[in-house]
Amino acid sequence: MAGISVSLAQFGAGTDKQDNLHAILGYAQKAKDFGASMLFLPEYSMFYTKINRRSLIRQMAEPLDGAFVSGLSQIARECGLWIAAGMYERSETLPYNTVVVVDADGALRGVHRKQRLYDAFGYRESDECRAGESLFQPIDTPAGRLGVITCFELRFPALAAAQKGAGAEVLFVPAGWATGKNKVLHWRTLLCARAIENGMTVLGVDQYAPGCFIGHSAAFAPDGCTLGALDEGSGLLNITI
């Protein structure tokens, strides 16, 4: 069976949502030139701030039919790509940390609201975000049946196993994996472990921001072999599944 080409975009999102969409468009155009069928982007691709996070996240969060998802849909149509990316989704209380998947026609095909929030290593994501209530339901995509878990959820084997149990063939893990001692080791090891123990391809796409997020996006085959990897810096990783 012929392989399927996909692209993983590692970049650091900022506080200007239009600038972030512009960066995504640039990666989408490069992915199209590569011949990719899908573009995978990190957690927080819509917006990220280190200052006044709780108040600014609530202010900047959007509904699923807001400007960010509409912008992704337009890019998807223009480039003929499926696109998956992280955002903050507005709710009646705190926002959700959400991942959306849009198809090449711009239609919203999947939504994952992060369930296991990053209350660890001295941080409390639950002070700024609301936990999702249900697992992502895997969807059929050009790259296979796609499952999703987000960042900290990678540390819980049962969540990846549940995606496999629901039929996922490829697991997408968008992240803002924080810097720290052994964090690159944790990130790469856990991505590979989830691939091996579930027998599915795993795509880990991290933000990169010096002193904040590590980058080091990587993709692993079901047998644990590395399909491709980045180091620090922004860039596009093109792989074949």
pLDDT at position 133 over 60: yes
Rounded mean pLDDT, 171-199: 98
Mean predicted lDDT score pLDDT of the chain: 97
For the stretch 15-55, pLDDT in tens is 999 999 999 999 999 999 999 999 999 999 999 999 889 99
C-alpha dihedral, 43 to 35 to 241 to 219, nearest 10°:
-30
pLDDT at position 221 over 70: yes
Higher model confidence: residue 1 or residue 60?
60
Identify the pLDDT of residue 4.
94
Could you tell me the pLDDT band of residue 1, with boundaries at 50, 70 and 90?
Answer: low
Nearest to 83 by CA among 130, 14, 30: 30
Name the residue ranges covered by the structural domains of the chain: 5-240
* Residues facing residue 120 across a β-bridge: 123
pLDDT at position 121 over 90: no
**Interacting residues of 91 by C-beta distance below 8 A, sequence separation 6+:** 61, 130
User: How many Cα atoms within 13 Å fall on the side-chain side of residue 192?
Assistant: 13
CATH number of 5-240: 3.60.110.10
pLDDT at position 174 over 70: yes
Identify the pLDDT of residue 2.
72
Enter the pTM of the model: 0.97
**C-beta neighbour count of 147 within 10 angstroms:** 29
Identify the pLDDT of residue 29.
98
| 102-123 burial: b if 16+ Cβ within 10 Å, else e | bbbebeeebbbbbbbbbeeeee
Percent of the chain beyond pLDDT 70? 100
